[in-house]
Amino acid sequence: MGLGSPDDAAVYRLDDQRALVQTLDFFAPVVDDPYMYGAIAAANSMSDVYAMGGEVLFALNIAAFPQWLDRAVLAEILRGGAEKVREAGAAIAGGHTIDDDEPKYGLAVTGIVAIAELMTKAGARAGDQLFLTKPLGTGLITTAAKGGAAQPEHVEAAVQSMLQLNRSASRAARAAGVRAATDITGFSLLGHAAEMANASGVQLHLYLERIPLLEGTRQYAEEWLFPGGAHSNKEFFAPQVRFAGRISEEEQMMLFTPETSGGLLLAVPAERVEVFLTACQSFGQPAWHIGAVESGAGIVVE
């Protein structure tokens, strides 16, 4: 996997059984607490490895910090990232920093995947059932928080969601023989779903009432507190999406809103759904059945 067949990460075959998975992600702070920021950025960076069905081996810090920022703040950001990587059973092996006016932090991540367990955006087939492993809403809630409009309990729930690794979700999917997955991040649920539909040559049919939302998400959508990325996503991906007439404009925008460290969107073969749900239960991993894969093209939301 590379530029010729773009996916969530690059994949490099080592031998007939194994391949390396390589990815990179970093961003500016989404929360005020430096430790939490570092941990969220690390979880988000590692997510692409899990979306490919792999496990993380090691990671390198990539960071930009202003010289005026207190060294103790920098240490907390890096500590948050390192402890989240340790939670994944991996290690920070080095990294690089530069001076910049705005803090930015993330990881270059190296993982490994069994080729027989590789999951890609191109693996969905008509008849597969669609599952999402985290609620939506982190983008709306963190945007509301930046404007001082978010309730503390909503922010705390969003932070806990962003801190959660997609490791258990990936392991449950592998146990069920899932071969199609992507993680929900900056391009939104609909943007990443469109990528899967295009790569697989299928149509994804989503049901709005089944899509899980963090508490407060609808409230901030109704208050039109969308980040700029939601408008960009809508402009780019809307031609590929058909909405039922009853779905309001703010509900549509909600599904175009970028997520940070979101869950996995999985296309589970119908005959493997029970195996998948049993595996989720054993890993303590929630999963919501939000739709199905059909013949056709693009996305249908009703």
Residue 4 has a pLDDT of: 84
User: Is the distance from CB of 64 to CB of 180 less than 8 angstroms?
Assistant: no
Residue 5 has a pLDDT of: 79
What is the rounded CA–CA span in Å between residue 203 and residue 84?
A: 36
What is the rounded CA–CA span in Å between residue 174 and residue 264?
A: 12
User: Following DSSP, what letter does each residue of 247-264 receive, concatenated?
Assistant: S-HHHHHHHHS--SS--E
Q: Which amino acid is at 88?
A: A
Residue 277 has a pLDDT of: 98
Residue 95 has a pLDDT of: 98
Q: Do 10-117 and 129-301 share a fold?
A: no
pLDDT tens-place string over residues 124-141: 999 999 999 999 999 999
The first and second tokens of residue 50, run together, are: 């899990």
Residue 1 has a pLDDT of: 87
User: Is the distance from CB of 260 to CB of 142 less than 8 angstroms?
Assistant: yes
Below-50 pLDDT ranges, the chain: none
What is the rounded CA–CA span in Å between residue 158 and residue 101?
A: 27
Residue 245 has a pLDDT of: 97
What is the rounded CA–CA span in Å between residue 278 and residue 171?
A: 12
Residue 3 has a pLDDT of: 86
Pick the CATH number of 10-117 from 3.30.1330.10, 3.20.20.10, 3.40.50.620, 3.90.1150.10: 3.30.1330.10
- β-partners of residue 25 are 107
| Sequence spans of domains, the chain | 10-117, 129-301
User: Is the distance from CB of 96 to CB of 62 less than 8 angstroms?
Assistant: yes
Angle CA(278)–CA(282)–CA(284) in degrees, nearest 5? 110
CATH placement of domain 129-301: 3.90.650.10
- β-partners of residue 130 are 267, 291
What is the rounded CA–CA span in Å between residue 229 and residue 27?
A: 13
What is the rounded CA–CA span in Å between residue 214 and residue 155?
A: 10
- Secondary-structure breakdown of the chain: helix, strand, coil percentages, each rounded to the nearest 5: 40, 25, 30
